[in-house]
Amino acid sequence: MSHCIFISDLHLCDSRPHITAASIDFLERTAANAQALYILGDLFEYWAGDDAIEHEVIKTSALQASIDALRRLTKNVPVFFMAGNRDFLIGDGFSKATGITILPDPSLITLFGKPVLLSHGDALCTDDTAYQAFRAEVRSQAWQNQFLSQPLENRIAFIEQLRAKSEQEKSTKSMQIMDVNAVAVEKLLSQYDYPPLFIHGHTHRPNTHVYHLAGHTCERRVLGDWYEQGSCLMLNADGCHSRTL
Ligand code: LP5
Ligand code: MN
């Protein structure tokens, strides 16, 4: 039966080569049989700018094989990508190099005759006010232009420092603060006219949450990360189910 696949939070990087290998296997053997693949953010541990593609940073990295596998897949299967908080600097250069289509966050699409809402999920973590302030700043075009004008090596060094700062701050935040805010979820569902299915990642807390709102039933499916194993959601005309790879 025809189906679409959703993944997020692979966090591909050279220090987890088994995950990079698993993701390539997934693209070649699982996603190749899908009607479409949706990558809902944080494909990479971080992305410092599309100029990395033509640079030794990627050419000498295991990530080159991931980019090649994506390019091969898009020849037969449409692949859609939505930015995560780690890889929002993916842009037209990456899109041209791989053949993926970039979707805005959030996006409402129709699959098998039903509306499906997609997001990375970080924008819904509104209790995490320090992160939201940071997010508003780095997502501005002016900030990104300024950041991208710096040499790639400097950007990578800055991101490494930022990662350390983020890990340090996260250790002081409660699990509740780092989860999606219930009011923010309900507001988003209402803005999109209560779609029956909402899929997102980011929190690394795979689960299914069911909402009964204004006479509608909405299911929120949270995708898992790829730290220890692969994780994806398959959707066909009968509904969706999670799969561990
Ligand atoms: O990613 P995850 O799940 O571990 O944590 C996120 C939030 N952290 C981030 C930061 C990224 O992990 C860092 C890598 C991004 C690379 C992007 C490339 C673009 C370049 C950007 C360069 C500025 O997103 C974390 C959330 C968590 O999700 C849960 O939702 O809590 O948020 C933070 O921890 C952010 C802090 O609260 C605020 C950070 C202020 C930093 C101020 C700049 C300091 C400069 C550092 C140099 C010393
Ligand atoms: Mn994320």
> Which residues crowd ion ligand 2, with CB under 5 Å?
42, 84-85, 202
How much is the CA Rg of the chain, to the nearest whole Å?
18
Ligand 1 close to Cβ of residue 26 (< 6 A): no
Residue 1: the pLDDT is 77
The atom of ligand 1 lying closest to the CA of 128 is 31
CB 7 within 8 A of CB 202: no
Percent of residues, the chain, with pLDDT higher than 90: 97
The atom of ligand 1 lying closest to the CA of 125 is 30
Residue 80: the pLDDT is 98
β-bridge pairing 207-213 and 216-222: antiparallel
For the chain, give every domain's residue range: 4-244
Among residues 230, 170, 186, 192, which one has the least CA distance to residue 18? 230
The atom of ligand 1 lying closest to the CA of 158 is 47
Nearest CA to ligand 1 atom 32: 131
Distance from the CA of 167 to the center of ligand 1, in angstroms?
Answer: 8
Residue 162: the pLDDT is 98
Nearest CA to ligand 1 atom 36: 131
Ligand 1 close to Cβ of residue 135 (< 6 A): no
Residue 123: the pLDDT is 98
Which parts of the chain register pLDDT below 70?
A: none
Looking at the domain 4-244, which fold is it?
A: Purple Acid Phosphatase; chain A, domain 2 (3.60.21)
- Per residue in 78-87, pLDDT (tens digit) is 999 999 999 9
Ligand 1 close to Cβ of residue 170 (< 6 A): yes
Q: Which ligand is nearest to the CA of 202?
A: 2
Distance from the CA of 162 to the center of ligand 1, in angstroms?
Answer: 6
pTM over 0.75, yes/no = yes
Ligand 1 close to Cβ of residue 152 (< 6 A): no
Distance from the CA of 156 to the center of ligand 2, in angstroms?
Answer: 18
Looking at the DSSP bridge assignments, the partners of residue 4 are: 36, 235
Nearest CA to ligand 1 atom 22: 159
